[in-house]
A and B are shown apart, each in its own frame.
Chain A
Amino acid sequence: MRDYLNDRPIKLRRATTVAITSRRPFLIAIGVCLLAILLIWLDHAYLLGPVRGTLQSVLSPIAQPLTNMRDGVIEFIPGWNENQRLRDEVTALQEEISQLEAELLEYKQDRIENRYLRQQLDIEHTHPWKVLGAEVAIRTPDAGRRVIVIARGSSDGVEAGMAVIGQTGNGPAGMVGIVEAVGPGTADVLLINDFGSQISARVLNDLYPALGLVKGQWQQGAQLRLEALDRDTILNLGDPVISAGLTERLAPELATARIPANIPIGRVAAISYNEYATTAEVQPYVDLDRTHYVWVILNQDG
């Protein structure tokens, strides 16, 4: 602009921004952070379990239909993904493979039963479990832990450490996770592909039924890894991996002692040998991201 009266330019002031003037917001934020750390510590010490359980029981009836709605919409929308048709085909083939795998698993289990009496005794009790069906109320909330919330809790007989199984297509009913915390009407299930999940496992192999430890690997970019195997173990691609139930025998006081043996976990997808150990990548039988309904194994008494 120009001041024509005095024939000189007028400088317009830039609008000033109002900055935060006091330290109060930051002091409050620091206080909130300290409070949050205290809450985390209290929760870690299992002191907030009842509060969480009660709140989740209130939320679960609301969350469950919403989760189902999302799943329904995603399955309904055509072209959700460019490769939807291919995905459908893959899904169909996977279901077929799963069915074949189920048959193969049964066959291999039968063969092992004949060779090893101890294992025979275990496998004779295959699926004598008393199970409780549960809908998945809440899936993993963000990129952190692989945890789901199911709509069954302590009032239904669910306890921490119980194994949770699911089924994808016509495949075998496979391990989904372990109950980590229980509220009156809900339970938190740590998925087997979470980095914090470890399950004793047995590989059904014609030569030698190797024992190992299946660890979750999602946070590492994979699904499951079979570790702690004997160095001389010989594995084959596609070998079924089932739970060994060792905690039940070796440390019955632990919560995870409730995990029964012979729950199908997955199949060996890749093997690596080195001079110290043998490890294998395991592909779970159950698609953990698409599980809508699961069963909690309450006991083995049938």
Chain B
Amino acid sequence: MGDTQPRRLEERLVYELLLMIGLMILALGQVTLLPAPLGFPPALVLVVVVNRTLIGVSSSQPDHNTITSLRWAIYGGLALDVCSATPIGSHVLALTLAAMIIAAATRRLRIEGLFIPLSAVLVGILIYECTLALVYHITVTPLDWPAYAQVAILPSVSMALILSLPTFSLMRWLDLRMKK
């Protein structure tokens, strides 16, 4: 009985480490393995974080699971920042904002069907791309927003939407399997 607390701490540390490694692999996969038909790969990490947020919000412990989603956003964002040459913190900010707004918007909704996951990814990718563009606009050079939206944001939205449904289905199936 006396070793319950230390073991829980160890388990949590191992879980966090595995989560970090998993998201680092995911981010590496995004920047190296995913095809880039339009000059950049689809935002896989964003899609995963948004879907994790949706699954977390619709669970029996939404508070706890939303915080877990934020951890996914932090680790995924840091991994992307390290893998790429973007300012460290920019992907963390973009993913966290996306996860937080999705959690706030869907906290009273029943996540059924495919409409909400698709809408959530749509909103999430817009927040993500706009945040990254804003960081770029402030730290590097002023952007021409209409042109940037046409060249970068809209194609990125399309690619994320294509990825969203299979990713959501897979993550939901994994979540159900883990609960069993």
Contact = CB atoms under 8 A, between A and B. Distances in A.
B66 interface: yes
Contact of A44 (B61, B97, B139, B153): B139
Interface in A31-78: 32-33, 35-40, 42-44, 48, 51-52, 55-56, 59, 62-63, 66-67, 69-70, 74
Contacts of A281: none
Interface string B132-171: 1101100111011001101111011000000000000000
A154 to B, nearest CB: 15
26 contacts: A17-B108, A18-B59, A20-B62, A24-B67, A25-B100, A26-B104, A33-B96, A33-B100, A36-B92, A36-B93, A38-B89, A59-B82, A66-B28, A67-B32, A69-B32, A74-B35, A138-B83, A139-B41, A141-B31, A141-B85, A143-B155, A144-B133, A181-B85, A195-B141, A195-B143, A218-B151
A180 interface: yes
A141 B86 contact: yes
A141 B28 contact: no
Contact of B129 (A18, A26, A143): A143
A140 interface: yes
A40 B93 contact: yes
A221 interface: yes
Interface string A13-27: 000011111101110
A141 B96 contact: no
Contacts of B144: 195, 219-220
Contact of B66 (A20, A35, A48): A20
Interface centre among A20, A69, A141, A148 (most CB of B within 10 A): A141
A86 interface: no
B53 to A, nearest CB: 10
A29 interface: yes
Interface string B95-109: 011011001100111
A252 interface: no
A42 B88 CA distance: 8
Contact of B86 (A35, A69, A144): A144
Interface in B35-58: 35-36, 39-41, 43, 57-58
Contacts of B153: 143
B39 A138 contact: no
Contacts of A145: 85-86, 136, 140
A144 B132 contact: yes
A50 B80 CA distance: 17
B84 A142 contact: yes
B89 A40 contact: yes
A17 B86 contact: no
Nearest to A60: B83
Contacts of B124: none
A141 B84 contact: yes
A37 B87 CA distance: 10
Contacts of B109: 17
Nearest to A23: B63
A268 interface: no
A40 B93 CA distance: 9
B110 interface: yes
A286 interface: no
